[in-house]
A and B are shown apart, each in its own frame.
Chain A
Amino acid sequence: MANYFNTLSLREQLAQLGKCEFMDPAAFSDGVSVLKGKKLVVIGCGSQGLNQGLNLRDSGLDVSYTLRESAIKEQRQSWKNATDNGFTVGTYAELIPTADLVLNLTPDKQHTSVVAEVVPLMKQNACLAYSHGFNIVEEGMQIRDDITVIMVAPKCPGTEVREEYKRGFGVPTLIAVHEKNDPQGHGLAIAKAYAAGTGGHKAGVLMSSFIAEVKSDLMGEQTILCGMLQTGSLLCFDKMVAQGIAPGYASKLVQYGWETVTEALKYGGVTNMLDRLSNPAKIKAFDLAAELKDIMRPLYHKHMDDIMSGAFSSGMMQDWANDDVNLLGWRKETGESAFENATNTDEEISEQEYFDHGILMVAMVKAGVELAYETMTAAGIKAESAYYESLHETPLIANTIARKKLYEMNSTISDTAEYGCYLYNHACLPLLADFMTGMNTDVIGHGLSLKDTGVDNQRLIEVNAALRSHSVEKIGQTLRGYMSAMKKIV
């Protein structure tokens, strides 16, 4: 199988990369009707599989689960998940031939083998749905010509997909049709009905392409989302401890700091995150972020280049073929880090203190978000995709670190994200070594502790203007505006 993206002409590549638009809610007025009475069969009953299935069934659709024979025989967790929830469960051979829509919700790593096994069993003119396009785009999986191939990707973890649905809302969702596999031209209609069945249409749907989704998703997850937070956690913790700050405090400040500062990001972008700082601290964070961006820019470019050329995915697939030796080694290393093993202090840290004492963390988030966004848009990815895959998702990953530090974060995210995260971390740690020697507890751990918080007017005006005029802030304002127009919860 050849990398699908690389088989396209430059013109086609750019056209696919540049696809991403926010859909008008009116486009979903038919709801799930296209799928009413059709048979939906889900492969995989993990968190995404189970929760999407529950939503689809509660939307009036006919959903059942297919698992490998061994999973059924041994009554594994996936089998329990499905049967406890009252779903029909059957083998591929039993259920796939009956399906009008097959939802492949297994991990990326299993896609090739699962799809190879399932497609021959699918009936003529059925539809195959992915929630991530890696298999199609990077592995170049070829699907039978009569089959429609679509993608519906809720931009949140499975439990949240379910919770929001039960509240009567949904989570932002990305949909796409694989143009090569849309023989009847109804791929979009099916994708829309599927998104509506999960509740996604209430929170906003982005229409994109398999390629734009894969390339932007990979870039976001390995740089700002997972990579930057991992590297930042290790560097900030070690720095504080080296400067004599109690490990318990350092550990807590880092573990919950990302979540706290990116909560501000979620509500009002990079601007709001920096506005939470005092004026001198804001200028400090701004300057640090500028320095960080200059140092890390080549690394972000390299990640984007490797993703575009396919070098990243082929490297990772080699590791898959090699029993995940690299991945598992890196995972072990993460589990053994000093940050991971420090016990948090019981001392209360106020919400504002996370900002005041975490100026460097704020700078790292700003640098990472802007670099990832700038690099993606420069590579032909639309601003909307770049925003979702950088700024929008950062708070979600920060939340997993708050729950159980880095090890948990790495085991929650996809295998592609985890692999990319380690690559980034290994390159970024040495890259920032010099920079970090110049850092002190005033920017991480203690805060500026200034008696006089005065600043130069001219400088403050420059900083504020630069913050607010960045392109990620402009698109963010627009997209958050759509979201809050729908989510009228005050």
Chain B
Amino acid sequence: MDTICVQQCTAKFNADFVLDAINWSIEPGQCWAILGPNGAGKSALGALLAGEGEIQSGTLTGVPGRVSLVSLEAQARLIQAERDKDDSDITDVVFAGTPLQEMLDESCVDPVLQAKLVRRFDLTPLLARSFRQLSTGETRKFMLVQALASHPELLILDEPFDGLDVKAVEILRECLAEQMTSTSLLFILNRFDEIPDFVTDMALLQQGALVQQIAADDLPAVAQLAQLLHLQASELQLPERETAVEEVALNPDQPLVEIRDARIAYGDHLVFEHLDWRIEPGQHWQLSGPNGSGKTCLLNLITGDNPQCYNNDIFVFGYQRGQGESIWDIKQHIGYVSSGLQWDYRVSVSVQNVVLSGFYDSIGLYQTASDRQLEIARQWLALLGMTQRASASFQQLSFGDQRLLLIARAMVKHPPLLILDEPCLGLDDMNRQLVLALIEKICAESETAVVYVNHHASDRIKGINHYLALDHRG
């Protein structure tokens, strides 16, 4: 078999789904797993190789003559074909459906192999039955036998394990492992734990784009991929807020933040002046501006970390700053993440305690957490896929995992305001995906107002509809 080569290929599948500028190659002997959240375009990519879709630009070369595709769509087509054969309304003869044996014989290339497969998958008792009479699992087994017995050069298996019982899954894995020498295999999978151990390469699709390709023996990258898929799983929900503690109620009619005519200067150096900003509860903001335009200064006026908040007109969470409130009165309403925070978080502390420290806005944990708080912290660790590492040292985590954990720390109390100051700064692609996946979940699922600061136009957050741009000199 030749190398299958997909170059800058953009393909349209229906009015609203496009695979965008895919660059990819499948070498002989490789076995790929295509992963990604629902709707990312995994099935479309499989279908593209099977000859479907309308290529609009770029090229697809090296696809072998015999390609088999086992998918829900292929199943639907078989069912439709059976329906088409049903002329009972016209002939008034009840159509019993095509017996399996007949369907197998139509496509068979290797009768010996086919007979063997039928036995292995326990289909012998069903051969006389018609396709339409099969259960979901039996249908799936039948299609797999049919595909395997046709000696494909490329076999595309879209969620092949769906609907199979444990025994059938085991048999399928064995059969596939045996066939790897003569067939290129491509798995399309939703669940990371279904990836067979003989897979050699993995690719990640997001919103129609192929964003990651990693070798299966690159274990750290594989672990991150697993974590990302976990975070993007649609059934995953943010842990609840802590209700036991009496919260300081905010007046819902007041803005969270109101800054009037702010000015920050250091000596003769003016950072900005005449700046106004009002953030209402639940609003999502994006703050942008070139380096040195004062983005972090502005955020620190809100958090109280910039000392000049005391000589500006700043109203936050019901407090006019400088009237006797403490910095902890302010911070209890804010979740804050920045790369700077990560540098500052240098204390010796466990992973779980980092999350717990969010309840107290501290770096390190100096209070005894309640059972309820511990429970919530564990839920967050489960969300991040870090349950096993709860007692590991924070300093020993990867940079990206530290950042995820700090976001969880910021969110653990469900603050009215979450400030994300370049949360992806210094992160590689995969970690950036991880962080963005978590932030999107937060924007979608909580009542927290988000202020998001970034430079990368590609790091767009769904749900942001307010923008503040700083230029030099405010």
Which B-chain residue is minimally distant from A80 (CB atoms)?
A: B267
The interface residues of chain A lying within 8 Å CB-to-CB of B267 are 80, 84
* Interface check B36, CB cutoff 8 A: no
The interface residues of chain A lying within 8 Å CB-to-CB of B344 are 166-167
Interchain CB contact under 8 A, B363 and A167: yes
* Interface check A430, CB cutoff 8 A: no
Which A-chain residue is minimally distant from B323 (CB atoms)?
A: A60
* Interface check A10, CB cutoff 8 A: no
Interchain CB contact under 8 A, B353 and A86: no
The interface residues of chain B lying within 8 Å CB-to-CB of A84 are 266-267, 307
Which A-chain residue is minimally distant from B348 (CB atoms)?
A: A489
* Interface check A59, CB cutoff 8 A: yes
Interchain CB contact under 8 A, A36 and B362: no
Given A86-B307, A167-B347, do A489 and B365 touch, yes or no (CB 8 Å)?
yes
Q: Which of B145-153, B324-332, B431-439 participates in binding chain A?
A: B324-332
Question: Quick one: which of A58, A62, A167 contacts B326, CB cutoff 8 A?
Answer: A58
Given A168-B361, A489-B348, A489-B349, do A36 and B266 touch, yes or no (CB 8 Å)?
no
CB within 8 Å of A: which B305-319 residues = 305, 307-311
* Interface check A202, CB cutoff 8 A: yes
CB within 8 Å of B: which A80-94 residues = 80, 84-87
* Interface check A169, CB cutoff 8 A: yes
CB within 8 Å of B: which A318-360 residues = none
The interface on chain B, measured as residues whose beta carbon lies within 8 A of the other chain's beta carbons, has a size of 31
The interface residues of chain A lying within 8 Å CB-to-CB of B363 are 166-168
Given A36-B324, A37-B324, A168-B360, do A489 and B311 touch, yes or no (CB 8 Å)?
no
One digit per residue, 1 when the CB lies within 8 angstroms of any chain A CB and 0 when it does not, for chain B 377-402 equals: 00000000000000000000000000
Which A-chain residue is minimally distant from B328 (CB atoms)?
A: A168
The interface residues of chain A lying within 8 Å CB-to-CB of B324 are 36-37, 60-62
CB within 8 Å of A: which B284-322 residues = 304-305, 307-311
Interchain CB contact under 8 A, B310 and A60: no
Separation in Å of the A107 CB from the closest CB of chain B? 24
Given A488-B366, A488-B367, do A86 and B347 touch, yes or no (CB 8 Å)?
no
The interface on chain A, measured as residues whose beta carbon lies within 8 A of the other chain's beta carbons, has a size of 25
Among A32, A87, A167, A202, the one with the most B-chain Cβ atoms within 10 Å of its Cβ is A167
* Interface check B364, CB cutoff 8 A: yes
Interchain CB contact under 8 A, B307 and A490: no
Interchain CB contact under 8 A, B362 and A167: yes
Given A86-B308, A169-B364, do A490 and B350 touch, yes or no (CB 8 Å)?
yes
Interchain CB contact under 8 A, A488 and B368: yes
Secondary structure at the A interface, as helix, strand, loop or mixed, is: loop
Interchain CB contact under 8 A, A489 and B353: yes
Interchain CB contact under 8 A, A58 and B304: yes
The interface residues of chain B lying within 8 Å CB-to-CB of A60 are 324-326, 329
Q: How far is the CA of A317 from the CA of B309 in the complex (A)?
A: 43
Among A37, A84, A487, A490, the one with the most B-chain Cβ atoms within 10 Å of its Cβ is A490
One digit per residue, 1 when the CB lies within 8 angstroms of any chain A CB and 0 when it does not, for chain B 242-269 equals: 0000000000000000000000001100
Question: Quick one: which of A36, A54, A490 contacts B348, CB cutoff 8 A?
Answer: A490
The interface residues of chain A lying within 8 Å CB-to-CB of B308 are 85-86
One digit per residue, 1 when the CB lies within 8 angstroms of any chain B CB and 0 when it does not, for chain A 377-403 equals: 000000000000000000000000000
Q: How far is the CA of A487 from the CA of B266 in the complex (A)?
A: 36
Which A-chain residue is minimally distant from B330 (CB atoms)?
A: A58
Which B-chain residue is minimally distant from A53 (CB atoms)?
A: B307
The interface residues of chain B lying within 8 Å CB-to-CB of A37 are 324
Which B-chain residue is minimally distant from A490 (CB atoms)?
A: B350
The interface residues of chain B lying within 8 Å CB-to-CB of A169 are 362, 364, 366
9 A-B residue pairs with CB within 8 Å: A36-B324, A37-B324, A57-B310, A58-B327, A84-B266, A84-B267, A86-B309, A168-B360, A488-B367
Residues of B within 8 A of A (CB): 266-267, 304-305, 307-311, 324-329, 344, 347-350, 353, 357, 360-368
Instruction: Give me the 6 closest cross-chain CB pairs, A-B, nearest first.
Output: A168-B362, A167-B363, A58-B327, A85-B307, A60-B326, A489-B364
